Structure 1
Amino acid sequence: MKMKLALAIIVVACFLSSHIEAALEVGFYRDKCPFAEAIIRDEVTKSFLRDRGIAPGIVRLHFHDCFVRGCDGSVLIDSTPTNQAEKEGPPNGNTLQGLEVIDNAKARIEAACKGVVSCADILSYAARDSISLTAGGYWDVPAGRRDGRISKASETLDIPAPSFNLDQITQSFANKGLTQDEMVALSGAHTIGRAHCSSFTNRLYNFNSTTMQDPKLNPYYAQFLKQQCPRDSQGNVDKNLVVFMNQTPFLMESSYYRNLFQNGGLFTSDQALLDSQETAREAASYAGNSLGWRRDFVQAMIKMSQIQVLTGNEGEIRANCRVINP
């Protein structure tokens, strides 16, 4: 009986493995468009050398794409007079970075291999290259994604909010097939990049009906943030103001997790990682082991990049990443 059960598990595992491999494939463009990856890396690198903030911007762009309709490049589509696209959704409006990098890579690739490489794949490669340029690791990207034809601002509510508590953010990731452990590993991406003051100033000025300032926020850090995100005479904070997410905003390392143990998580959803023994234990492990975190982060990124992908005859290969094919 045990042998039959073990055999069944092996068969199921092999089926799942072959299903994933059939959907996406490392080296997918090796024969179809051999210079695609090099072109994408070149465009990401050129932009990074001009503005290092482009790397976390592209990683965020990929994340926001995958959490709405899967990794189908739908976040890249522009709005039309009859449709508000994902770009206009509350988590995205006027905050997305890296769109021009994808446009430039797509234009060069179309000139070399017309109608072959999807915008979704370009974005996935660009996210990998952005992580690599910030010392977060390198991996072979399984490719073969097709581009989606639907992009709706209303669906961006699927993207986890910075105000989420632990249960909410865990469920948000679970809805996309990601475990709580993978959520903790992926949260470490907040070691790089900038955040708009509007995404956390409730923790400084209007936490709840009884407390102005979030008691879980380190008071010295709160004072620093108030200097970076001051209120005007009407009590409002300039929505265009930004702060660095972490003290190493262009280097993927594990100080993000160490900061949590000093009540230095920027978002409510960051500090919430200490709200259970299991997630706090994992955060503590990463705080003392950058290599271990990078390893788990890479594996979680590979899995995230395969959420609800379109393959085969599904979707399309967009000629322009901003516009659905006629």
Structure 2
Amino acid sequence: MVSSFNKMHILLCLLLATLTTTAQGQTRIGFYDITCPTFQTIVRATVQSSFRTNPAVAAGLLRMFFHDCFVLGCDASILLSGPSTERTAPPNLSLVGFEVIDAAKTQIESACPGVVSCADILALAARDAVVLTGGIGWQVPTGRRDGLVSQASGTVDLPAFNDPISVQISKFADKNLNTQDLVALVGGHTIGTAACAVFSYRLYNFSGTNQPDPDINPAFLPQLRALCPNGGNVSTRVALDTGSVNRFDTSYFVNVRNGRGVLESDAKLLSNPTTRTFVQRFSGAVGGPALRFTNEFARSMVKLGNTELKTGSRGEIRRVCSAIN
């Protein structure tokens, strides 16, 4: 039988290991195993419940995590409310899923007050959203802390729907993400939608030519025009992955390869030899390539999730995700 002294010694060693890892600016698997062992179960159940009511929340949570990490790192700054915060910036006005994170946080605070960061809740929720839509699961390193700053001006770092491929590559490189990471993560567009407002210019007057974007497959153009008529409702939302909007699979890459990318930034993946290579790889025959995409997506999500970490004494553990303590 283990003595009380030995038990205390073991717990002290585990605590020191946690503090050392965090002080070194790293996340790790199992960060909350002792301090909040029900953390992942609560997040998963909350995301599942919301998904059953509204499947679109899966794409919303994934996009929210991506937008959070690209501005000031993965520190839940996207969740802060108030004037001129990130969530008030145009790229974030259509984000959905804030209530899911808030609900999970409320339950976690009841079970383990002051322990789990909103940033880690969002990272887990994004993973669970992918799994619920048929994607692969992965172990999410945790130990992030929540940021104290959120500014709408910071969203200039976000990749935009009309960014040339060179700008996309540069923005990802600024976050220590390479071109393979770029294509894999943009593959998250296999779920979700975009408003006509962000791509209808491609359908009628691309670059002031009064003609459609030549990158659009002519057979696909009538379908997009029917969904987004010239002068029609710009808030109408269209699937980014035609025919598979709620399924995490490789059909997004098949569509891009065939000139059926909805966003200009997606279509431009074919304009660069390196990004085109990854599009072709991820859109290949079912079996090997499909597995490679899901694995590479998971790897790149872990890499993204370690962007500009706040750990140790940096940041805080928020009591509510929408406000600093």
TM-score in terms of structure 2 length: 0.89
Alpha-carbon distance in structure 2 between the residues aligned to 1:170 and 1:223: 31
- The code of the aligned residue for 1:61 comes to M
Hey, what does 1:65 align to over in structure 2?
68
Alpha-carbon distance in structure 2 between the residues aligned to 1:97 and 1:239: 18
- The code of the aligned residue for 2:301 comes to M
Greater Cα offset, 143-152 or 19-28: 19-28
What is the Cα-based RMSD across aligned positions, in Å?
Answer: 1.5
Hey, what does 2:87 align to over in structure 1?
87
Structure 1 outlier segments of 4+, above 6 Å: 18-21
Hey, what does 1:238 align to over in structure 2?
233
Is 2:323 the partner of 1:323? Answer: yes
Q: 1:229: how far off? A: 1.4
Hey, what does 1:11 align to over in structure 2?
none
Hey, what does 1:116 align to over in structure 2?
115
Hey, what does 1:12 align to over in structure 2?
none
Alpha-carbon distance in structure 1 between the residues aligned to 2:282 and 2:145: 35
Q: What is the SS of the residue equivalent to 2:206?
A: coil
Hey, what does 1:25 align to over in structure 2?
28
Hey, what does 2:96 align to over in structure 1?
97
**Residue-by-residue CA offset, 1:65-88 (whole Å, 9 max, x unaligned):** 000000000000001xxx410011
Matches within 5 A, 1:1-326: 23-79=26-82, 83-93=83-93, 95-231=94-230, 235=231, 237-246=232-241, 247-288=243-284, 289-325=289-325
**Residue-by-residue CA offset, 1:290-319 (whole Å, 9 max, x unaligned):** 111101110000100110010001000010
- The code of the aligned residue for 1:136 comes to G
Answer whether contact 2:194 2:239 (CA < 8 A) is retained: yes
Q: 1:219: how far off? A: 2.0
Alpha-carbon distance in structure 1 between the residues aligned to 2:205 and 2:150: 33
- The code of the aligned residue for 1:150 comes to V
Answer whether contact 2:282 2:293 (CA < 8 A) is retained: yes
- The code of the aligned residue for 2:54 comes to D
- The code of the aligned residue for 2:203 comes to L
Alpha-carbon distance in structure 1 between the residues aligned to 2:190 and 2:225: 20
**Residue-by-residue CA offset, 1:203-250 (whole Å, 9 max, x unaligned):** 11221122431011112222111111123xxx3x42321011112111
Unaligned runs of at least 5 residues, structure 1? 1-17
Q: What is the SS of the residue equivalent to 1:320?
A: coil
Answer whether contact 2:80 2:321 (CA < 8 A) is retained: yes
Q: 1:261: how far off? A: 2.1
**Residue-by-residue CA offset, 1:226-278 (whole Å, 9 max, x unaligned):** 111123xxx3x423210111121111111111112211111111111111222
Alpha-carbon distance in structure 2 between the residues aligned to 1:72 and 1:238: 35
Answer whether contact 2:193 2:237 (CA < 8 A) is retained: yes
- The code of the aligned residue for 2:89 comes to G
Answer whether contact 2:25 2:310 (CA < 8 A) is retained: no
Answer whether contact 2:23 2:312 (CA < 8 A) is retained: no
Alpha-carbon distance in structure 1 between the residues aligned to 2:234 and 2:321: 28
Hey, what does 1:8 align to over in structure 2?
none
Alpha-carbon distance in structure 2 between the residues aligned to 1:67 and 1:152: 13
**Residue-by-residue CA offset, 1:61-113 (whole Å, 9 max, x unaligned):** 0000000000000000001xxx41001112112x0111000000000000111
- The code of the aligned residue for 2:195 comes to H
Q: What is the SS of the residue equivalent to 1:195?
A: strand
Greater Cα offset, 21-30 or 259-268: 21-30
Greater Cα offset, 309-318 or 256-265: 256-265
TM-score in terms of structure 1 length: 0.89
Answer whether contact 2:60 2:95 (CA < 8 A) is retained: yes
Unaligned runs of at least 5 residues, structure 2? 1-20
Q: What is the SS of the residue equivalent to 1:303?
A: helix
- Among all aligned residue pairs of Structure 1 and Structure 2, give the percentage whose two residues are the same amino acid: 41
Hey, what does 1:9 align to over in structure 2?
none
Alpha-carbon distance in structure 2 between the residues aligned to 1:21 and 1:283: 36
- The code of the aligned residue for 2:81 comes to D
**Residue-by-residue CA offset, 1:175-214 (whole Å, 9 max, x unaligned):** 1110011101111111111111111111112211224310
- CA distance 1:201–1:291, shift in 2 (3 Å): same
Greater Cα offset, 132-141 or 273-282: 273-282
- CA distance 1:20–1:116, shift in 2 (3 Å): closer
